[in-house]
Structure 1
Amino acid sequence: MPYQMTEANKESLNAIHEESVEDLDDPTSLFAYTLTKAMRKHFGQDAAQEHIYLQRFEIPQIRLFELLIQQFPLANLSQHCTNTLLIDALSQHTHPVLMDIGIGTGFQVMNIIEGLTKRTDCQIQQLTIVGIEPFADAVDTARQNINRVAQNADFGVSLVTRVAFIEALSLDELRQMLPNQYDGLYVNASFALHHIQQHSQRKMVFENLKALQINVLALSEPNSDHYEPIYARRFQNCVNHYGALFRIIDTLAISDTEKAALKLFFSREIDDVLGHSEEVRVEKHYAIEQWRELLTETGFVLQKRLATFEYTQLNGTHLQTDLSDRYATVFENEEITGLFWAVL
């Protein structure tokens, strides 16, 4: 797989694909569709009809975003955990810096600023946000969102942004983004670092963060090895991980159309894991053990910060708080995401 597949194998794959297309309202058929669609893409087969198959599941982008943040427990619980930890830590400084790798449209940073504003014991006088994001449109939106929320904060907020991939930035370039004076440097990387293609690049990024003498790296990542170069193993890992995500979606109290739309959102990742060549694919998730090894290799220590959370369960998924070195989101006794608090 896939290069050992015969023409007969490919015909069987196409038959499964066509059969699944006939009943996309069935959850099992939809999952089979996403897998076979990705595998067919790997062979360069025409996907021109895909949009026609899926038109009835399209929903407005803003609604999809709301579902991911409000209803999908992995995104919600993971951000709730990380935000709680960061708010607790940042509030103890007067001039802290929060560097957000993959800041996107700034939604998580907005929530952190709002959380800090609500703290009666917050000591912050000036908060500097350093946002790194490869997509310029997202950065423009993030700037608008953060500036709007900052108007209601009872402390100063300054925003420094850079349109770039974190692995393309040198240590000097990172240093230039920091203010002249600060009393705490916290780095947040939520579901961003698995996009770095090579292990050597990930190691370099961690070493640069270490050289900055950061206080903490708050790292949130899915728990599945899609870095695996052997296709058959990566396929099985993909089935296990996204199969769990699809089952989580099936538990949500939303419409069938919205469930399908969420699944098709994640099917873009499946397309990358199974459909793209090794040279260009970017959804190269690590399993928990691989992140732990990389953090240790680069001089970080996992020092779980204790906190009190407003809630630890959402839609059948719970935040596991009793692990020795991290937090985790768990569904059906399976760790879906790992949440690390790494110090030097």
Structure 2
Amino acid sequence: MDHKKYATLLAVVHETLAGRIDNARTLLADLVDDHLDDGAHGEDLQYYIFASALSKRLESDKAAEINLYLRQFEKTQISLFNLLAQHLPTVSLAGPLANEVLAGYMGGQEHATLLDVGIGSGRQEVALMHLLATQGRLPRKLDVVAIEPDAGSLLEAGAALAETADELGVELAFHPVHKVVEELDEEDWRMFASFGAPLFVLGAFAVHHVRSAPGEQARDALFRRLRALEPDAVVLCEPSSNHDSSSLVERFEAAWHHFGLTFRIIDGLDVDDRDKAAMKMFFAREIEDILANAEETRCERHEPVDAWVRRFRDAGFTPVAEWDAVSRPAAGPVRVAARNGYLGLDYGDETLVAILCATSGVPARAGRISSALLDQVA
């Protein structure tokens, strides 16, 4: 890390918070004009991405110039995700590993209900059904209750799951809920409860979007609501970092550290420099949300993994403590570390992404895991 460049960005943050906006803009302009390499395919691209986020917060004249520079690395968001899913271990391992854990509980049920918090386009759920079918443990009947704020994604998920169910011979009932979690009302929760056992909950990179109103703790309330449903298992995928803080300085430092480690992994991948830069650009939108958007509109509110484990316990869940049935493949510099309450996708000694699992019973251990994950990452 270039400590001078980092110090300049941090000074921009402090000047912004002090209300010295002109000083902040001047510091940012000086950094971009005199200290960043225009051929930034390596470390300097991280400075550009963070400078871009801060320039938008400051409404700086440099915003357009930085954006013009970064556009050379842009691809469609889906193509960027495909690059990450193919090459970046913290992405490529998370979904399959979460599905393996969930399949350990869902597999072998005659009739199961999956409550999906933030289903997106249904990519992970389709993979889950195929995994269960490969294991010979796919439920004959499956209710999928899909919470999703994006109407287009919800339609896409319903169609994808219906096609997969038809292919695999599953009796599927798809129940779309076009809302953000914070908008769920008593009628919704009564509907969720009406399905009864066995019930399973999946939240893949979605629960950190839940935003609390002043004086409320929406995530704690959500976990209590879920516990009242008495699900057999809840599985979450969440990045581990402190981006929910109301302090811009804390968010900046946490984001720099978390994404800096992610970028370091990317730099070590066996792909060309332009693909490395493109993968980093996937995270530019998240960094911009964390640093540039107003407190009341921010969406990327990641928390450290210990906060999620604590929330499970406080709501009356039992986090999984034993993962002896779970394979722990390594993928380059990223390893799967089994801990109390979660599996960490670790770089060095630090968890960047966590797969959390908790049950309504005691004791809690991971369900039966097949060898499919080993096949996927071999």
**Same fold by TM-score greater than 0.5:** yes
Equivalent-residue separation in structure 2 for 1:183 and 1:279 (angstroms): 37
Q: Verify the 8 A CA contact 1:17 1:37 in the aligned structure 2.
A: no
Q: Verify the 8 A CA contact 1:186 1:216 in the aligned structure 2.
A: yes
Tell me if 1:16 matches 2:31.
yes
SS at structure 2 position matched to 1:86: helix
Q: Verify the 8 A CA contact 2:113 2:195 in the aligned structure 1.
A: no
The farther-off stretch of 66-75 and 107-116 is 66-75
Q: Quote how far apart the aligned CAs of 1:169 are.
A: 0.6
Correspondence 1:54-203 to 2 at 5 A:
54-120=70-136, 122=137, 124-177=139-192, 183-198=197-212, 200-203=217-220
Tell me if 1:276 matches 2:290.
no
Which amino acid in structure 2 is aligned with residue 155 of structure 1?
V
User: 1:205 corresponds to which residue?
Assistant: 222
Structure 1: gaps spanning 5 or more residues: none
CA distance 1:302–1:181, shift in 2 (3 Å): closer
CA distance 1:52–1:10, shift in 2 (3 Å): closer
Q: Quote how far apart the aligned CAs of 1:182 are.
A: 5.0
User: 2:18 corresponds to which residue?
Assistant: 4
Q: Quote how far apart the aligned CAs of 1:91 are.
A: 1.0
Q: Quote how far apart the aligned CAs of 1:8 are.
A: 3.3
Tell me if 1:27 matches 2:31.
no
TM-superposition CA deviations, 1:147-170 (whole Å, max 9, x none): 222122143222111111012112
Q: Verify the 8 A CA contact 2:344 2:351 in the aligned structure 1.
A: yes
CA distance 1:318–1:249, shift in 2 (3 Å): same
Q: Quote how far apart the aligned CAs of 1:299 are.
A: 1.6
Q: Verify the 8 A CA contact 2:241 2:258 in the aligned structure 1.
A: yes
Equivalent-residue separation in structure 2 for 1:123 and 1:61 (angstroms): 32
The farther-off stretch of 54-63 and 220-229 is 54-63
Number of corresponding residues? 341
Correspondence 1:288-307 to 2 at 5 A:
288-304=305-321, 306=323
Q: Verify the 8 A CA contact 1:97 1:130 in the aligned structure 2.
A: yes
Q: Verify the 8 A CA contact 1:77 1:313 in the aligned structure 2.
A: no
Which amino acid in structure 1 is aligned with residue 276 of structure 2?
K
TM-score w.r.t. structure 2 length? 0.84
Q: Verify the 8 A CA contact 2:118 2:203 in the aligned structure 1.
A: yes
Q: Verify the 8 A CA contact 1:98 1:129 in the aligned structure 2.
A: yes
TM-score w.r.t. structure 1 length? 0.92
Q: Quote how far apart the aligned CAs of 1:304 are.
A: 3.9
Correspondence 1:304-319 to 2 at 5 A:
304=321, 306=323, 308=325, 312-319=329-336
Q: Quote how far apart the aligned CAs of 1:52 are.
A: 2.4
User: 2:369 corresponds to which residue?
Assistant: none
Which amino acid in structure 2 is aligned with residue 174 of structure 1?
W
User: 1:244 corresponds to which residue?
Assistant: 261
Q: Quote how far apart the aligned CAs of 1:171 are.
A: 4.1
Which amino acid in structure 1 is aligned with residue 174 of structure 2?
L
TM-superposition CA deviations, 1:64-115 (whole Å, max 9, x none): 2321222221122111211001112111311111111110010000000001
Tell me how large the CA RMSD over aligned residues is: 2.1
CA distance 1:61–1:266, shift in 2 (3 Å): closer
Q: Quote how far apart the aligned CAs of 1:280 are.
A: 1.3
The farther-off stretch of 295-304 and 272-281 is 295-304
CA distance 1:94–1:342, shift in 2 (3 Å): same
TM-superposition CA deviations, 1:230-255 (whole Å, max 9, x none): 22122111111010111111122222
Q: Verify the 8 A CA contact 1:59 1:258 in the aligned structure 2.
A: no
The farther-off stretch of 229-238 and 300-309 is 300-309
Equivalent-residue separation in structure 2 for 1:290 and 1:19 (angstroms): 41
The farther-off stretch of 99-108 and 306-315 is 306-315
